[in-house]
Amino acid sequence: MHIHILGICGTFMAGIAVLAKELGHVVTGSDQNIYPPMSDVLAAKGIDIYQGYDEQQFAVKPDQVVIGNAMSRGNPAVEYVLNNNLNYVCGPQWLSEHVLQGRWVAALSGTHGKTTTTAMLTWILEFAGKKPGFLIGGVAGNFDESARLGDGEFFVVEADEYDSAFFDKRSKFVHYRPRTLVINNLEYDHADIFPDMAAIQTQFHHLVRTVPENGLILSPPGQESIEQVLEQGCWTPRQTVGIVDRRNPCAGANWQAKRSVNDGSSFGVWFEGKKAADVSWNLCGDHNLNNGLMAIASAHHMGISIEQAAQALSQFGGVKRRMELLASIENIHVYDDFAHHPTAIKTTLEGLRAKVGSEQICAVIEPRSNTMQKGIHQKSLKNAFAAADEVIWHKLPAMEWDLQDLIQGNSTPMQGSDSVDRIIEILVANAKQAAGQPRHFILMSNGGFDGIHTRLIKTLETQLGAA
C-alpha cells in the first residue's frame, strides 16, 4: 500500500511514517517546513518528502492519505484529497487501527514531560529485554529514532491532548486505549484549540474512560486539575507519584523520590513506604525526578522490577531538544530546549541552576506556541525566570501582547529583539565578556527558531575559537 502523509515533518506524523515504513508500506509525504531532527529521521528511513502542498504531489495516486492536525481546510493538498474522494484518515486513528490493536499500550500524558517520560519508559523496557514498540514526540538518545514497531507485547506512546485532525477534534490520546496511563500534570495550554481548562479536562476524562479495570493510572497527588478529572468518573486503580522534600510534601504518595544531592542527579526511589532503589544519572531538576519516577512506576506495572528500572535510568541518554547540550566553546555552553510554557521554563532553569551553581545563565526565548503568542500566560511568565541571570526574547510578529510590559516589570534583566541576527550578536558579546568564566546559553523554542542553534555555534567558534 502507498501511504502519503500530509504534515510529515511534525514529530508525531514523522513517527507514523516510520511505523508505516516498517510495516512494509510505500511511504511518501509533504510538509511546508522541513528541518531537523525529524527531517533527518525520515531521510535515514529513505522516506521521500515533497516540499509544499500543491497538487503535483498526487501525480502518483496514493492508496491512503494520513492527514496531520496542522492541516486545515483551504490547504491545497487537503482540498485535492476531498475533491477527488481519496481515502483519508487522521494519524491517531491510523496508529490505533494498524499498530496498537492487541498490544499493552502505555500512554504518557500531561502538559509537560510527555516526551521525556515516554523516552524513559521505552528505554527501561528496552533495557529489560522487552523490545517495545514506541512513538515518541522527539528523538531519544538511547535509540536515535522517534518510532519503532518493536517485537514484544508492549507499545509506549506519547499521549498528546492536541486535536487529531481538522475533521476529528478529539484529542489524539482518545484513540490509544491504554492499559497503563500516566497523567504527569495538567495545566492550561493550546489556547488555539481549547477555550478553557474545563475543555481540556473533558478530553482527559474521555481518556480516563478508556482505561480498563485491570489497568493503572499514575498521577501526582493533590493536583486540583487532575483530581477534578478523576472525580468525573474513574474505573481504574490509581497510584500517586511525587517528590518528597520541604517544597513538595508528597509524603502520602505511593511512589516517592527523595534527592540524594541538591540538583537531583542522584535520588532514592521509595514504594509504599519502603526504599526500593537508587538512581544516579546525567539529568538534573525536579521535573526530571518526577518524569523518572513516573517511568519507574509505569514499568513496575508492566512487570519490570524497580531495581532494574532504576539501573536502566542510570544509563538514560536523554532526548534531543530537552536541555540538549549542543556545544561547549571556550567555556560557553549552548543548549537546545523545547520548553514553551511558563512551568516548563521555570523548572528547566531551576534544574540547571541547581547543577551549575553561581555560573551565568542566559535564557533565549522564542514564544512560538499559540498560547504564548496570545499572551495567555503573561502573568505566569513574570515568575518563570528567577533562576536565570539574563533573558533575551525573540519578538515575533504574531505576538498579541506587549513584551515591554514583562521586560519592565521583571526582576531578571530582559531585552527583546525581532532579529535572530541581533540576538546572536548579543550572545556573542556576552560570551566575550565572560573572559573564560563558564556561561550557559539556553535556546528555548518548540520550532526551528530560524536556525539560531547552528548559526550561533558557528559564530562562537569563529570569534572565540573552537574548544
Residue-range domain boundaries for the chain? 2-92, 102-313, 324-464
Listed residue (221, 125, 114) closest to 160, CA to CA: 114
Beta bridge mates, 171: 163
In angstroms, what CA-CA distances link 135 with 57, 146, 157, 447? 26, 6, 5, 19
Report the SS3 class of residue 162. coil
Report the SS3 class of residue 424. helix
> How many CB atoms neighbour CB 356 within 10 A?
16
**Regarding the domain delimited by 2-92, which CATH topology (the fold level of the hierarchy) does it fall under?**
Rossmann fold (3.40.50)
Listed residue (271, 103, 236, 106) closest to 181, CA to CA: 106
Report the SS3 class of residue 366. coil
Name residue 256's amino acid: Q
For 274-324, what is each residue's pLDDT tens digit? 999 999 998 888 889 999 999 999 999 999 999 999 999 999 887 777 778
Q: What pLDDT score does 466 carry? A: 46
Q: Is the peptide bond before 438 cis (omega within 30 degrees of 0)?
A: no
In angstroms, the CA 82 to CA 89 distance is 12
Mean pLDDT by 10 residues, the chain (467 residues): 95 94 96 79 89 95 96 97 98 98 97 92 97 90 88 95 95 97 90 88 97 97 95 97 74 89 89 94 87 97 98 87 85 85 83 88 85 70 86 84 78 87 92 86 85 91 72
CA 403 to chain centre: 25
In angstroms, the CA 459 to CA 424 distance is 8
Contact indicator for 29, 5 with CB cutoff of 8 Å: yes
In angstroms, the CA 31 to CA 38 distance is 11
Write out the three cell numbers for 248: 513538595
In angstroms, the CA 356 to CA 109 distance is 30
Could you tell me the sign of the dihedral formed by the alpha carbons of 78, 82, 85, 90, in that order? Answer: positive
In angstroms, the CA 298 to CA 161 distance is 19
- The whole-model pTM stands at 0.82
- Compute the chain's Rg from CA coordinates: 22
Listed residue (445, 420, 449) closest to 341, CA to CA: 445
Listed residue (112, 116, 156) closest to 138, CA to CA: 116
CATH 1.10.10.10 for the 102-313 domain, yes or no:
no
Helices H, strands E: what count in the chain? 15, 23
Pairing of strands 274-280, 324-329: unpaired
DSSP assigned state of 58 = G
Task: Please give the sequence-ordered ranges of beta strands (E in DSSP) within 208-273, or none if there are none.
Answer: 216-219, 238-243, 255-259, 266-271
In angstroms, the CA 365 to CA 162 distance is 22
Write out the three cell numbers for 118: 515516554
CATH code reported for the domain at 324-464:
3.90.190.20
Residue 323, phi then psi, degrees to nearest 5:
45, 45
In angstroms, the CA 265 to CA 289 distance is 8
Q: Residues with Cβ < 8 Å from 201, sequence gap 6 or more?
A: 186, 225, 228, 229, 232
